[in-house]
Structure 1
Amino acid sequence: MSVSFLLRLALLVLLLTFLANPQAFEPVFAPFAANGAPAIYTQSSLVALTLSHLAMVAAATLAATIVSVGFAILVTRPSGREFLPLSRSIANIGQTFPPVAVLALAVPVFGFGPIPTLIALFLYGLLPVFENALTGLTSIPASVQEAARGVGMTGGQRLVGVELPLALPIILAGIRLTAVISLGTATIGSTVAARTLGEVIIAGLTSNNTAFVLQGGLIVAMLALFIHEGFALLETALSRRTGGAQPA
């Protein structure tokens, strides 16, 4: 086993241990607590907040992936190429409006809770997946396309059996970027009553308790690391299997 693998495993065990029994880490965070304030956040279960946070990110990322890949497939077909500028404009919406602005616009319509956060994460996650899917589907060698046509495959069969499998590593790189960005961005959802790890960070900021801020920030950072590494390993494995270039 490599040193890096052992280090990641140790970090994972440390994170799971902290989530399961945060009180055991009180001596570690006590120096960062405000005068007389508790060192460990106990107003809500850290496990429940983490699962809620991950579920929100997963739902938004899945929705963004379905829409973005759908747009990419549409604009790479002969009948849909004229829609490329429109699709790119839609994918850019999330980058044009910051998540905080989306929350401010969504709350009056949908009220407080998870829905405004999901909308913000969905819009913010469209562009990375769309651009990567577009790159993956347009970078397939012409010789491969011709070979697929030569064996009598229809357009749909080429898409499902050739194009998407070859483009998948690059598409996954976009999904990885979206998931990691969404993981950090989701923390602001607690400002509109969504149950995320931002609750811990905000509690620390409002009470001037650095211990809480560190706990929320470290959990989010470690989750982002594990999600990034997991997707990277999957991309590498798929690239080797398909013989394609490995995404950065």
Structure 2
Amino acid sequence: MKPGLIIRLVVLALLVAFIITPTSFAWVFQPLTRNGQPPIYVQNSLLNLTISHLTIVAIATIASTLLAVGLAILVTRPFGAEFLPLSRSLANIGQTFPPVAVLALAVPVLGFGTAPTLVALFLYGLLPIFENALTGLTTLPPAVTEAARGVGMTDRQRLLDVELPLATPVILAGIRLSVVISVATATIGSTVAASTLGEVIIAGLLSNNLAFIAQGGLVVGVMAVLIYDALSALERALMARTGQRRLQS
């Protein structure tokens, strides 16, 4: 087993242990407290906050992926090419408006809670997935697509059996970027009463408790790194299967 993998597994084990039994690690965060402050956030279950955080990220990413890949497929078909500028503008909306601004606009319509956070993450995740899906579908080896036409495959068969499988590693690279961004950005959802790990960080800021801020930021940061590494490994495996070179990102 490679040393890098061993380190990641150890870090994952420590992360899971901390999330399940955070009070066991009180001694780690005790030096960051002062005047008798509690070293561990116990107002809410860290496990529940983590599950809720990841669930929000997963739902937003799935929705972003479905729309972004759907738009990429549309604009790479002859009948949909004219919609490319409009699709690119739609994908850019999330990058044009910061997530905080989206939350501010969404709360009056959707109310406080998870919904505004989902909208913000959904919009923010569109661009990297759309651009990578577009790249993956427009840079396919011509010989492969011509061979598919030569054997009599229909447009639908070429898309499902040839184009999407070949483009999947590139699309996954966009999903990887979107997920990592969302894991970090989801913390702001707690400002509008969404149940995320941002609750721990905000509690630390309000009470001037550095231990709360550190543990909230640490869990989010480690999760982002581990998810990034896992998706990168999956991307490399898919690239190896299709004989493609991995995109640098």
Instruction: Give the TM-score band, short-chain normalised.
Output: over 0.9
Residue number in structure 1 paired with 2:229: 229
Q: Note if 1:211 corresponds to 2:234.
A: no
Q: CA deviation at 1:186?
A: 0.2
Residue number in structure 2 paired with 1:147: 147
Residue number in structure 1 paired with 2:65: 65
Deviations 1:154-206 (A, max 9, x none): 11100000000000000000000000000000000000000000000000000
Q: Note if 1:15 corresponds to 2:15.
A: yes
Residue number in structure 2 paired with 1:177: 177
Identity of aligned residues (%): 65
Following the alignment from structure 2 to structure 1, what is the Cα–Cα distance between the partners of residues 193 and 20?
A: 24
Following the alignment from structure 1 to structure 2, what is the Cα–Cα distance between the partners of residues 231 and 20?
A: 24
Superposition CA RMSD, Å: 0.6
Q: CA deviation at 1:246?
A: 1.6
Following the alignment from structure 1 to structure 2, what is the Cα–Cα distance between the partners of residues 98 and 141?
A: 37
Following the alignment from structure 1 to structure 2, what is the Cα–Cα distance between the partners of residues 120 and 33?
A: 33
Letter in 1 for 2:195: R
Letter in 1 for 2:129: V
Q: Note if 1:107 corresponds to 2:124.
A: no
Residue number in structure 1 paired with 2:166: 166
TM-score (norm 1): 0.99
Q: CA deviation at 1:84?
A: 0.2
Residue number in structure 1 paired with 2:241: 241
| Segments ≥4 residues shifted beyond 4 Å | none
Following the alignment from structure 1 to structure 2, what is the Cα–Cα distance between the partners of residues 35 and 237?
A: 51
Q: Judge conservation of contact 1:235–1:247 (CA < 8 Å) in 2.
A: no
Following the alignment from structure 2 to structure 1, what is the Cα–Cα distance between the partners of residues 181 and 58?
A: 12
TM-score (norm 2): 0.99
Following the alignment from structure 2 to structure 1, what is the Cα–Cα distance between the partners of residues 173 and 14?
A: 27
Q: CA deviation at 1:20?
A: 1.4
Q: CA deviation at 1:19?
A: 1.0
Q: CA deviation at 1:224?
A: 0.4
Residue number in structure 1 paired with 2:137: 137
Letter in 2 for 1:173: A
Q: Judge conservation of contact 1:63–1:122 (CA < 8 Å) in 2.
A: yes
Q: CA deviation at 1:24?
A: 1.1
Following the alignment from structure 1 to structure 2, what is the Cα–Cα distance between the partners of residues 163 and 207?
A: 53
Residue number in structure 2 paired with 1:86: 86
Segments of 5+ residues of structure 1 without an aligned counterpart are none
Helix, strand or coil for the counterpart of 1:24? helix
Segments of 5+ residues of structure 2 without an aligned counterpart are none
Q: CA deviation at 1:92?
A: 0.1
Q: Judge conservation of contact 1:26–1:40 (CA < 8 Å) in 2.
A: yes
Of 39-48 and 12-21, more deviation after overlay is shown by: 12-21
Residue number in structure 2 paired with 1:50: 50
Q: CA deviation at 1:142?
A: 1.2
Helix, strand or coil for the counterpart of 2:39? coil
Q: Judge conservation of contact 1:34–1:208 (CA < 8 Å) in 2.
A: no
Following the alignment from structure 1 to structure 2, what is the Cα–Cα distance between the partners of residues 107 and 57?
A: 18
Residue number in structure 2 paired with 1:33: 33
Deviations 1:106-125 (A, max 9, x none): 00111000000000000000
Following the alignment from structure 1 to structure 2, what is the Cα–Cα distance between the partners of residues 184 and 34?
A: 27
